[in-house]
Amino acid sequence: MLILFDIDLTLTNTSGAGMKALVDAGRELFGPAFHAEGVDFAGRLDPLIIDDLLAVNEQEATPHNRARLRATYRGYLSRRLAAPGTAQALPGVLDLIRVLRTRETQTLGLLTGNFEETGRMKLQAAGIDAGAFTLAAWGDHSPITPPRRDHLVPVAMERYFEQHGRRADPARVTVIGDTPHDVACARAHGCRSIGVATGRTSLDELKACGASLAVRDLTGTQMLVSWLEG
């Protein structure tokens, strides 16, 4: 059984540090007018967010501009996350992970729009042990252009196959996330989803977009573990 967790507003709340650090980086590289107005961040892949930021700031999405925005973002994020109180694990997360990682039948993974280096920073800043997750599909792992979150589910399932020598049954793969994008990528591959209303999408909206289960937060450890194992 494979359980794939989103990071932002599912496992962690980093007080918008990611968006702010991307703007910091853009200002350093492209000037003080660099902004994020009109760019949608929730549930999206970092490579797409970077391209959108470059576009709204009338900068070309060249490999050079993408790479230096990514690299500069990393430094600013590290500094922002170091400020006390910026990053927290969301309610129930630490307990749920603690219980799930003791279950031999469960493989925990990450399926996230974050780049690996900055996704790991957010987990660490929130006190979440990245070692609990034995596989990951990161935001730049989509093998198809343009990248889409949907592509990351097969990437995660391929990693599972490499580690276990057998295919994961999609009906026994669960994606946990806070946005309709998380739910949609699960549905696209016949996987289950838990929509968690700790982001900007309400419980009713998560239900309406087809989450297999929708919850207010991840505090119901026993209920969630039973559901996941059922």
Verify binding: residue 46, Mg ion, rule CB under 5 A. no
Q: Which is nearer to Mg ion, 9 or 93 (CB)?
A: 9
Question: By rule CB under 5 A, what string of x and - marks binding of each residue 154-193 to Mg ion?
Answer: ------------------------x---------------
SS3 state of residue 47: helix
Smaller CB distance to Mg ion: residue 54 or 183? 183
Q: Between residues 27 and 210, which has the closer beta carbon with respect to Mg ion?
A: 210
Query: Which of these segments, 4-12, 16-24, 72-80, 162-170, binds Mg ion (CB under 5 A)?
Result: 4-12
* 3, 4, 9, 136: residue in contact with Mg ion (rule CB under 5 A): 9
Closest to Mg ion by CB, 14 or 107: 14
Using CB positions, name the residue nearest to Mg ion. Answer: 8
Tokens of 78: 């590290």
Q: Which residues are within 8 A (CB) of 97 and not within 5 positions of it... i.e. 6 or more apart? A: 108, 128, 129, 132
Among 1-9, 67-75, 118-126, 136-144, the segment contacting Mg ion (CB under 5 A): 1-9
Q: Which two tokens stand for residue 7?
A: 């990071």
Terminal Cα distance for the chain, rounded: 11
Angle at CA of residue 63, ends 60 and 65, nearest 5°: 50
Q: Which residues of 35-65 are buried (b: 16+ CB within 10 A; e: fewer)?
A: ebeebebebbbbbbbbbbbbeebebeeeeeb
> How many residues bind to Mg ion according to rule CB under 5 A?
4
Return d(Cα 67, Cα 47) in angstroms, integer: 10
Shortest Å distance, C-beta 80 to Mg ion: 18
Nearest to 177 by CA among 166, 155, 192, 163: 192
Q: Minimum distance from CB of 112 to Mg ion (Å)?
A: 7
CB 10 to Mg ion: min, Å: 5
Considering beta carbons, is residue 46 or 178 the nearer one to Mg ion?
178
Nearer to Mg ion (CB atom), residue 9 or residue 110: 9
Alpha carbons 189 and 40: distance in angstroms, whole number: 24
8 binds Mg ion (CB under 5 A): yes
Nearest to 85 by CA among 25, 178, 13, 6: 13
Binding site for Mg ion (CB under 5 A): 6, 8-9, 178
